Structure 1
């Protein structure tokens, strides 16, 4: 008796691979054909080292929080270092916009023109982006805080609308120098302590998990309150004819701050090839051993414990 033919169920199609900008925080740094602001891809190894040592969360590999974290880190690389939108892979150019605290949404062109700091800070008694250029804004903040790490704390919903809470932190190593909303030069002495700001972002993404409408809420004055925790700042009239960049440059040179041009953009510190290799090896060792050093959280911010993966994942 012949065996009956058994019809096999159709094989399920394999799930498409996730974009590399979701699986690695450094994916866009490997874009060899991209135009880079300083002629080559930047080196993020010192900031990545600080992140590994002082982060609050340890997200499960491949979890939604980790994927969101990687997406935003790659977006920041592109916003800071790729002057041509044609090279941005993390956004849906036709549908992309960015807004802070309910302000009028702006396109990517605006951030390229004014810089990432000026795009997110409203005029206040410490700083006014209308007096500052892309270059001078990064001299103000990057020189004050050479490494400024970023992490996802919680993810509340997955695609197509991703909502999450985040943390951005560093150490105030040099004096703050900026121009405020009255056109005055504002100086705050470095205190060597932590600066830790937190906020919430809601972002829509397309089927390639590229950013579309990005809406962020945070208190920008929180950073300045931590820069001058006792409210002690020096305010001076700016000499006629001096630009914000001149003011910042003169003050920082006088106080002995020395940095290369490449260090004036967010989350970036230049290392030699040998230093970068040592840093990477140290990060890998700490990750293997589950070692984190931690950083004190300023008063007013809740401590966040170790986090696991989220049951909602990218599909």
Structure 2
């Protein structure tokens, strides 16, 4: 199955009558993120790696920012499911019910008093506003390696950005925050994403957001001894 050329993330952003989430700052975020992406790996034009990277960026843009299912062009909306670290696969409706993509990717079994980010207290708009404020220049994704091609694509990715805004009382550090992971993405006969599985350590992201001198940290978090162990598993 030879992969067709994938449009970049801005291709489906410029269409007329597009509806985005209420708190979205997508024009600035996408344009800037696209710029900082160019400073890193640029795959050869037409290569499998470039096509996968374009597809992943487009899928992320549409999944996190577009409100109406009919506006989603990279996904088979009727069949699509996503899962994180072996958890139960979720449909788009399931993800919407738990508060959107950020809550899906940051699900945790930690006790409430040990959660730096608590998905139960966020919704799609508050989460989107939080992360676009924390990363005003975007939280870019790049493909580091593609292990297999379509219809089942397996790839290693890196997400990265600069913490230039506050995060849950943690002051901005201006430092690079990054995380790495592996994903399995399945395409249907029309090269639309029908299933995606992600495997990564959510603590790799959150740990990078609590390096500064906190304005307020839960006393339970401090006295539990969690500050000297890994609180993100």
TM over 0.5: yes
Question: Is 1:107–2:83 an aligned residue pair?
Answer: no
For the aligned residue pairs, the C-alpha RMSD in angstroms reads 2.6
Q: 1:70 to 1:17 in 2, by over 3 A?
A: closer
Structure-2 residue corresponding to 1:169: 160
Report how far residue 36 of structure 1 moved: 3.7
Q: Aligned equivalents of 2:172 and 2:100: distance in 1?
A: 24
* Aligned residue-pair number: 209
Structure-2 residue corresponding to 1:63: 47
SS class of match (1:173): coil
Of the three residues 106, 127, 130, the one matched with 1:121 is 106
Q: 1:122 to 1:231 in 2, by over 3 A?
A: farther
Q: Aligned equivalents of 2:170 and 2:17: distance in 1?
A: 41
Is contact 2:20–2:66 with CA below 8 Å preserved after alignment? yes
Q: Deviations over 1:90-117 (max 9, x none)?
A: 1112321000000111001233451221
The two structures have a TM-score, normalised by structure 1, of 0.61
Question: Is 1:50–2:36 an aligned residue pair?
Answer: yes
Report how far residue 50 of structure 1 moved: 1.4
Report how far residue 159 of structure 1 moved: 0.7
Structure-2 residue corresponding to 1:301: none
Q: 1:230 to 1:136 in 2, by over 3 A?
A: closer
Structure-2 residue corresponding to 1:87: 71
Of the three residues 1, 4, 10, the one matched with 1:26 is 10
For residues 1-315 of structure 1, what are the structure 2 equivalents within 5 Å?
18=4, 22-37=6-21, 42-43=26-27, 44-53=30-39, 55=40, 57-113=41-97, 114-123=99-108, 124=110, 125-146=115-136, 147-177=138-168, 187-229=169-211, 234-236=216-218
Is contact 1:99–1:215 with CA below 8 Å preserved after alignment? yes
Query: Structure 2 regions of 5+ residues with no counterpart?
Result: 220-233
Q: Aligned equivalents of 1:139 and 1:165: distance in 2?
A: 27
Report how far residue 33 of structure 1 moved: 4.4
Is contact 1:59–1:65 with CA below 8 Å preserved after alignment? yes
Q: 1:64 to 1:233 in 2, by over 3 A?
A: farther
Q: 1:233 to 1:164 in 2, by over 3 A?
A: farther
Q: Aligned equivalents of 1:192 and 1:33: distance in 2?
A: 36
Q: Aligned equivalents of 2:180 and 2:116: distance in 1?
A: 19
Answer with 1 or 2: which has the greater Rg: 1
- Stretch moving more, 71-80 or 165-174: 71-80
Q: 1:128 to 1:66 in 2, by over 3 A?
A: same
Q: Aligned equivalents of 2:187 and 2:141: distance in 1?
A: 20
Report how far residue 228 of structure 1 moved: 2.1
Q: Aligned equivalents of 2:100 and 2:116: distance in 1?
A: 18
Query: Structure 1 regions of 5+ residues with no counterpart?
Result: 1-15, 178-186, 238-315
Structure-2 residue corresponding to 1:290: none
Q: 1:127 to 1:86 in 2, by over 3 A?
A: same
SS class of match (2:196): strand
Q: Aligned equivalents of 1:32 and 1:230: distance in 2?
A: 42
